[in-house]
Amino acid sequence: MTRPKQRPLTLRDVSEACGVSEMTVSRVLRNRGDVSATTREKVLEAAKSLGYVPNQIAGSLASQRVNLVAVVIPSLSNMVFPEVLTGINQAFEDTPLQPVVGVTDYLPEKEEQVLYEMLSWRPSGVIIAGLEHSDATRAMLKNAAIPVVEIMDTDGTPIDAMVGISHRRAGREMAAAILKQGYQRIGFLGTKMPLDHRARKRFEGFTEALAKAGVEIEDREFYSGGSALAKGREMTEMMLQRSPDLDFLYFSNDMIGAGGLLYLLDQGIDVPGQIGLAGFNGVELLDGLPRRLATMDACRKEIGTKAAQIILERSQLPEDVLPEDPGHFTLASKISWGDTLRRYRR
Amino acid sequence: MTRPKQRPLTLRDVSEACGVSEMTVSRVLRNRGDVSATTREKVLEAAKSLGYVPNQIAGSLASQRVNLVAVVIPSLSNMVFPEVLTGINQAFEDTPLQPVVGVTDYLPEKEEQVLYEMLSWRPSGVIIAGLEHSDATRAMLKNAAIPVVEIMDTDGTPIDAMVGISHRRAGREMAAAILKQGYQRIGFLGTKMPLDHRARKRFEGFTEALAKAGVEIEDREFYSGGSALAKGREMTEMMLQRSPDLDFLYFSNDMIGAGGLLYLLDQGIDVPGQIGLAGFNGVELLDGLPRRLATMDACRKEIGTKAAQIILERSQLPEDVLPEDPGHFTLASKISWGDTLRRYRR
DNA sequence: CTGAAAGCGCTAACAG
DNA sequence: CTGTTAGCGCTTTCAG
């Protein structure tokens, strides 16, 4: 069975169907300028009955305006970036702007490719995760002459605007909280990802604050791939076998932290009496655990919303003006103490 | 501080920079036709040093070809659709095609809007979740004259191609397995989502198979919003208070199932001796739980990959031919027995 | 192997 | 309020 591929409808088809010029049809369909109620009706009906869908490719080329916003993120496989996307989506609801997502798998070369591909659609703005990019990526971003918001992290110098939290400070604050509770023999468990700069910065902030108090991490363990919950379990078991004296475990994300927590509870170990725990991100999942893991909020959705708002504002600015305001926002991430960080009074 | 908005570079700029006609530059940049090695070099260097990024808007309009594939899904907030996206991304890696994602929040009107918006970019294909759509949506899909793959579910008639599992069968098979293990007093816990047709079909298949064996669900409970893990806990507690005689709980997804499992273990209830449990989806998270929840794989990534492959194949077909093959694929979802469905021998 | 001309479907800008 | 004209930046097609 073969069938000729039908040609999509054009403005001209609608124009002919209702006896109104293409230009007027275009105006009606975009609610632009004044059109009499009568012709408006006629056009709308013709368009609907034909099933006309405007061609944005042609429209964007003609108007030199594209309602797309490029969103470049490293991953979709943990819950953190989907939540950022939710925030972005919400902020763009009821606006003409539309996010288009590209995933880099934490690889700088892929980031470059993905960005190049997206910029070739001439988006109205870019939201991109992180402050660390290849020279080529930075160059593209600068040359694009559109608003660029770097998100998640604010420890560094952005190309244009940035919205995020200070991961170094997050690490430091958690270290301070842990020390204040009297924990001294601390283990660190994280991902084996040299390219996850935010995890690295948290780690650096953490060790730095410990060092100032004369404390050093006693043991560390890294993983990659697989179920984070299961890995958290395994790593915790291995680490405690190796270093049974530890009294605190700091996990670089909540999922492995949750795995560690479940393991310790299984073993009948007193948490946080014998061992304290903390994670990072503030994921919703923690609400359902037998005990509330201490964590620190990464402000994911808020970051998405704010970044989208910045793009919105700037894309409405007069064409030839760049804003005075640098647009740098460090959101306040706070410790959730939960039940695993405050030592029992004895 | 104001600064003139710089004009993005065009083919003409590259052409002038290297003294080669626009046409030849275009050919080089697309690896099309024969170009002498010398001019090729010249062009490539000029393009790179200028930082030229081609304008796909113009290119697509001229060539009447767009390398975008619309992907329309209901949600990003549980792990199921991100995994489908991962499968799609993988299949499109190293091909010219690029997915563009739209989210509908399980709302038919929003599905309509999102699809309309995406079709206005004249994508090369559509991958859309589910078989149930509004008339307008179905009409748009038919009129678009591009490959359409409906995913996740195969209980129904697709517009074009479909890839998924039979959720009705999934419900039936789980019911059969539960009955075979001798469970008789069964509770159902699910989402309060009249528009989640797949959950509904699983439920229907489930009750149907029970009915054939003369068994009826004894109690049911639905939730919406919040942390699924926490909700699973709460709902389980409520249900057992109300109906303490139940010997099996069937959860409509793994997250609430995991919450239920954690609750029962906390209470010291014998699972699966006293109460058996099963969920649905086969999420990775289950690997890290204290006991393996029984579940059924939804083949998420596989569905994404297969759908993307179908789009790929069809978009390479000669322009005016529709394939003979309807392209309907029901993948084999299987029960994972885990540790919560096989009753202890006593 | 390279170039010139025509136009993709729409909208900005200007006339009536 | 409505229509006309001239492109947007690229690729197709055809001619060297």
Q: How confident is the model at residue A34 (pLDDT cuts 50, 70, 90)?
A: confident
Residue-wise pLDDT for B177-233, tens only, equals 999 999 999 999 999 988 999 999 999 999 999 999 999 999 999 999 889 999 999
Q: How confident is the model at residue B2 (pLDDT cuts 50, 70, 90)?
A: very low
Mean of pLDDT values over A95-100: 94
Ranking A7-16, A269-278, A310-319, B74-83 by mean pLDDT, the lowest is A310-319
Q: What is residue A330's predicted lDDT score, i.e. its pLDDT? A: 96
The residue of chain B nearest to residue A140, with distances taken between CA atoms, is B51
Mean of pLDDT values over A292-299: 96
Q: What is residue A1's predicted lDDT score, i.e. its pLDDT? A: 34
* Closest CA–CA distance from residue B208 to any residue of chain A (Å): 32
Nearest residue, CB atoms, B1 vs list A227, A290, A324:
A324
Coil vs helix vs strand at B147: coil
Is B109 part of a structural domain of the chain? no
Is B317 part of a structural domain of the chain? no
Q: What is residue B1's predicted lDDT score, i.e. its pLDDT? A: 34
Is B278 part of a structural domain of the chain? yes
Put simply, the answer to whether A229 touches B82 (Cβ < 8 Å) is: no
Is A111 part of a structural domain of the chain? no
Q: Please check whether residue B100 touches A, CB under 8 A.
A: yes
Which CATH number goes with the domain that contains B27?
A: 1.10.260.40
Mean of pLDDT values over B245-254: 96
Q: How does DSSP classify residue A281?
A: B
Mean of pLDDT values over B75-90: 91
A67: closest CA among A25, A122, A114? A122
Give yes or no for a contact between A87 and A73, defined as CB atoms under 8 angstroms apart: no
Mean of pLDDT values over B310-321: 77
Q: Please check whether residue B4 touches A, CB under 8 A.
A: yes
Strands A186-191 and A248-251: parallel
What is the domain range of residue B10?
A: 1-52
Mean of pLDDT values over A261-284: 95
Give the Cα separation of B296 and B281 in Å (integer). 6
Q: What is residue B323's predicted lDDT score, i.e. its pLDDT? A: 65
Q: What is residue A166's predicted lDDT score, i.e. its pLDDT? A: 97
Q: What is residue B199's predicted lDDT score, i.e. its pLDDT? A: 94
Distance of B6 CA from D14 C1′ (whole Å) = 36
Q: What is residue A346's predicted lDDT score, i.e. its pLDDT? A: 42
Mean of pLDDT values over B317-321: 57
Which CATH number goes with the domain that contains B182?
A: 3.40.50.2300
**Look-up of token digits 């909280």:** A177
For residue B43, give the nucleotide whose C1' atom is nearest its CA. C2
Nearest residue, CB atoms, B61 vs list A61, A319, A324:
A61
Q: Which residue is nearest to nucleotide D1 (CA to C1')?
A: A35
B148: closest CA among B70, B84, B74? B70
Angle between helices B300-316 and B80-92 (to 10 degrees): 40
Q: What is residue A5's predicted lDDT score, i.e. its pLDDT? A: 54
* Protein-contacted positions of strand C (CB under 7 Å): 1-13
Q: What is residue A92's predicted lDDT score, i.e. its pLDDT? A: 95
Angle CA(A200)–CA(A305)–CA(B119) in degrees, nearest 5?
110
The residue of chain A nearest to residue B140, with distances taken between CA atoms, is A51
Q: What is the mean pLDDT of chain A?
A: 92
Is B161 part of a structural domain of the chain? no
Q: How confident is the model at residue A6 (pLDDT cuts 50, 70, 90)?
A: confident
The DSSP result for B281-346, as a single string, is B--GGGGGSSS--BEEB--HHHHHHHHHHHHHHHHHS-TT---SS--EEE----EE-TTTSSPPP-
Residue-wise pLDDT for A154-199, tens only, equals 999 999 999 999 999 999 999 999 999 999 999 999 999 889 999 9
User: Chain B partners of A139 at a C-beta cutoff of 8 Å?
Assistant: 51
The answer to whether A145 CB is within 7 Å of strand C is no
Give the Cα separation of A154 and A197 in Å (integer). 11
User: Chain A partners of B89 at a C-beta cutoff of 8 Å?
Assistant: 103
User: Chain B partners of A300 at a C-beta cutoff of 8 Å?
Assistant: none
* Closest CA–CA distance from residue A341 to any residue of chain B (Å): 21
Is B4 part of a structural domain of the chain? yes
Q: Please check whether residue A119 touches B, CB under 8 A.
A: yes
Is B57 part of a structural domain of the chain? no
Q: What is residue A225's predicted lDDT score, i.e. its pLDDT? A: 86
Phi, psi values for residue A197, rounded to 5°: -65, -30
Q: How confident is the model at residue A342 (pLDDT cuts 50, 70, 90)?
A: confident
Q: Please check whether residue B37 touches A, CB under 8 A.
A: no
Contacts of residue A332, Cβ cutoff 8 Å, sequence gap at least 6: A165, A299
Q: What is residue A193's predicted lDDT score, i.e. its pLDDT? A: 87
Put simply, the answer to whether A262 touches B289 (Cβ < 8 Å) is: yes
Domain count, chain A: 2
pTM of the model: 0.93
Give the Cα separation of A330 and B187 in Å (integer). 48
Q: What is residue A319's predicted lDDT score, i.e. its pLDDT? A: 52
Q: Please check whether residue A308 touches B, CB under 8 A.
A: no
Q: What is residue A325's predicted lDDT score, i.e. its pLDDT? A: 73
Nearest residue, CB atoms, A145 vs list B8, B98, B227:
B8
* B203 HSE (CA, 13 A, CB side): 20
Is B136 part of a structural domain of the chain? no
